[in-house]
Amino acid sequence: MIKTLKTSFTECSGRERTVELLDAEQYRELLGPFDGFESPHLEKQGIIPQSDDGVIVAKGTINGHRAVIISIEGKFQGGGIGEVSGAKIAGTLELVLKDCVAGKKTIPVLIYDTGGVRLQEANYGLLSIAEISAAMVALRRHVPVIGVIPGKIGAFGGMSITAGLCSTLLMTKEGRLGLNGPEVIEQEAGIREFDSSDRQLIWGTIGGDQRTAAGFADLLIADDTDAVKETITSVITGEISFLQRTEQVNRYKNFLTSVDPKHRISFEEVRTLWNQSGETSTVERHRSNVTKSNGRGQTWFDLLRGDAKEVGDLPSVRVADGIIGENRVRYIAVVPDAENYFPRARNGELGLLEGWSIAEHVREVITADRNGDKQAIVVIVDMPSQAYGYHEELLGIHQACAAAVDAYASARLAGHPVISFIPGNAISGAFLSHGMQSSRIIALNDPGVNVHVMSKQSAARITQRSLEELEVAAKKVPAMAYDVDSFEQLGALYSLVGDVEADTPQVNDRDRIYVEINRAIEDVQSSKSNDLSVRLTSALAKAGGRAAAISVREELYAQWT
């Protein structure tokens, strides 16, 4: 490759950015365009694939320090993450982790230019982002994980959650960072909530300047290649460092509870409240006595916990400690709350406070069992999505999701069996945050169980298809389907339980799920692995459900060594 003469980092392609950051003649590209790893799912939908699937991976040095650059090319499918591109990112991070464990310190740098999951591959992207997140949390124990968001697209969807996991996050003024894209918020919540054509609103809410000033990015950097490289070098050498955002639970709770969501908070107010949040004690503004709403998550939480005492203080996040067989368990469920402090999270969505509350309760378990037997965590999943709204984006719902992801992944890495049980909906960033970091996933075989990355209406708008066209595509690519049978074919489930009454379960239904949870806990305890690799080694995954993801990792390993 020839070094480009451009100085604007934003204007460079993904490959140019990679070349500019790495020392000349000291790098090599892995799984490049001539290796022929294209998405096997796009041509079926009339889409021409790209030979590197929109992700550039190069191994080399940055100012003499061993590093790997992973750059997402926003010009291909909006930087969407599918099976192959996701496996390139996750597989690379997994290999970096192996090197770090072996004493070969290697710094991962992720350059974001992505709209999140590639909707044409849907659940493949969902699984990939969970694996990327898992590797990032594990890597941070060895080296800083550096993220750069330069523009044009930014970092959205599930990939914004991974940005929230970075040790250090750099943004240019042109960069954008948010879980829900402007068009999706408008689709889900209406134009009065968020006008996707208002550029001032967009950059004032999620632009690089605002994100840095409001505590969601670490440094605002000049849009200059040399400046980006020198800043990254300063992070590698330890000249500059920052506190890990996902572990600052109390500060972010202070920040959120200082907001009055009854009025539309301004960009400037957010900056002021963030600066004040480190100076105050936690403000509790939630009710201790509240009438609980119904829903499958609520129903199954009450049934499984029995008479176990609840320990949570947020009505929408129910937590209780109980026993299954001889195993201590902590049940955690997100449920509807008609009086939720943030109105956009009143129907069981995972909202701002829900993400941070989950992180708090999971980290309590990690701390309590640091030197003893590890309590299992049972994650009960029934959520329509994450919350969509202006306040949610402005106040960092991606970071709340990242906090929950980090906590669950940290618990798993610490030896806690983390078991997900899905009796209802497992959708989008909510499922990534509350369920996808589990050691094992159990689901009910029921028409009311749906797994996907986005509502059908929003998916149709983003992909510019009709609902009927989406249904046709789902028949060609099972990962696009919403039903749990299709999700099972991807090999991610530990078990799919049939003949259970999902809406009005009885004692015998509860006992069947107890058996499945106990089996899953024992399987984790007998396993030598505390990562998510079981999802790639299951029979269905190896039979074809994750064929491309497995092949990518095998070839990455061959080229790496």
Q: What is the mean pLDDT of residues 329-335?
A: 98
Q: Tell me the pLDDT of the chain averaged across its residues.
A: 93
Q: What is the pLDDT of residues 254-283, one digit of tens each?
A: 999 999 999 999 999 999 999 999 864 444
The answer to whether residues 231 and 352 belong to one domain is: no
Q: How far apart are CA 91 and CA 85, in angstroms?
A: 10
Domain that includes residue 389, residue range: 288-547
The answer to whether residues 144 and 292 belong to one domain is: no
CA-nearest of 382, 378, 308, 379 to 347 is 382
Residues 337, 338, 342, 347: is their CA dihedral positive or negative? positive
516 neighbors 444 (Cβ within 8 angstroms): no
Tokens coding 343: 């109105």
CA-nearest of 9, 14, 392 to 178 is 392
The answer to whether residues 229 and 304 belong to one domain is: no
Q: How many domains would you assign to the chain?
A: 2
Global confidence as pTM = 0.95
The terminus-to-terminus CA distance of the chain in angstroms comes to 22
Q: What pLDDT, on a 0 to 100 scale, did the predictor assign at position 285?
A: 47
Asked whether residue 183 is assigned to any structural domain, the reply reads no
Least confident of 53-67, 109-123, 175-189, 274-288: 274-288
Residues 269, 114, 386, 378: is their CA dihedral positive or negative? negative
Q: What pLDDT, on a 0 to 100 scale, did the predictor assign at position 283?
A: 43
457 pLDDT band, cuts 50/70/90, is: confident
Q: What is the pLDDT of residues 133-171, one digit of tens each?
A: 999 999 999 999 999 999 989 999 999 999 999 999 999
Within 69-122, where are the H helices?
83-101
Q: How far apart are CA 419 and CA 14, in angstroms?
A: 37
The answer to whether residues 306 and 238 belong to one domain is: no
Asked whether residue 271 is assigned to any structural domain, the reply reads no
Asked whether residue 200 is assigned to any structural domain, the reply reads no
The answer to whether residues 105 and 239 belong to one domain is: yes
The answer to whether residues 47 and 139 belong to one domain is: yes
Q: Can you spell out the DSSP letters for 202-248?
A: HHHHHBHHHHHHTTS-SEE--S-HHHHHHHHHHHHHTSS----GGG-
Q: What pLDDT, on a 0 to 100 scale, did the predictor assign at position 561?
A: 85
Asked whether residue 555 is assigned to any structural domain, the reply reads no
The answer to whether residues 236 and 295 belong to one domain is: no
Q: How far apart are CA 121 and CA 142, in angstroms?
A: 32
7 neighbors 224 (Cβ within 8 angstroms): yes
Share of residues in the chain with pLDDT > 90 (%): 87
Among 198, 231, 247, where does a domain finish? Answer: 247
Asked whether residue 21 is assigned to any structural domain, the reply reads yes
Tokens coding 1: 């490759």
The answer to whether residues 242 and 337 belong to one domain is: no
Q: Does 108 have pLDDT greater than 70?
A: yes
Q: Does 476 have pLDDT greater than 80?
A: no
Q: What is the pLDDT of residues 219-238, one digit of tens each?
A: 999 999 999 999 999 999 99
Asked whether residue 211 is assigned to any structural domain, the reply reads no
Vertex 72: Cα angle to 69 and 74 (nearest 5): 150
User: Would you call 176 helix, strand, or coil by DSSP?
Assistant: strand
2 pLDDT band, cuts 50/70/90, is: very low
Q: Does 175 have pLDDT greater than 90?
A: yes
The answer to whether residues 471 and 528 belong to one domain is: yes
The answer to whether residues 233 and 339 belong to one domain is: no
Asked whether residue 552 is assigned to any structural domain, the reply reads no
Q: What is the pLDDT of residues 21-75, one digit of tens each?
A: 999 877 899 999 999 899 999 999 899 999 999 999 999 999 999 999 999 999 9
Q: Does 291 have pLDDT greater than 50?
A: no
Where residue 239 sits, what CATH number does that domain have?
3.90.226.10
Residue appearing with tokens 């696009």: 480
Tokens coding 377: 């965590």
The answer to whether residues 227 and 301 belong to one domain is: no
Which value, in Å, is the radius of gyration of the alpha carbons in the chain? 22
Q: What pLDDT, on a 0 to 100 scale, did the predictor assign at position 474?
A: 73
Residue 378 φ/ψ, nearest 5 degrees: -105, 115
4 pLDDT band, cuts 50/70/90, is: very low
The answer to whether residues 379 and 506 belong to one domain is: yes
Asked whether residue 369 is assigned to any structural domain, the reply reads yes
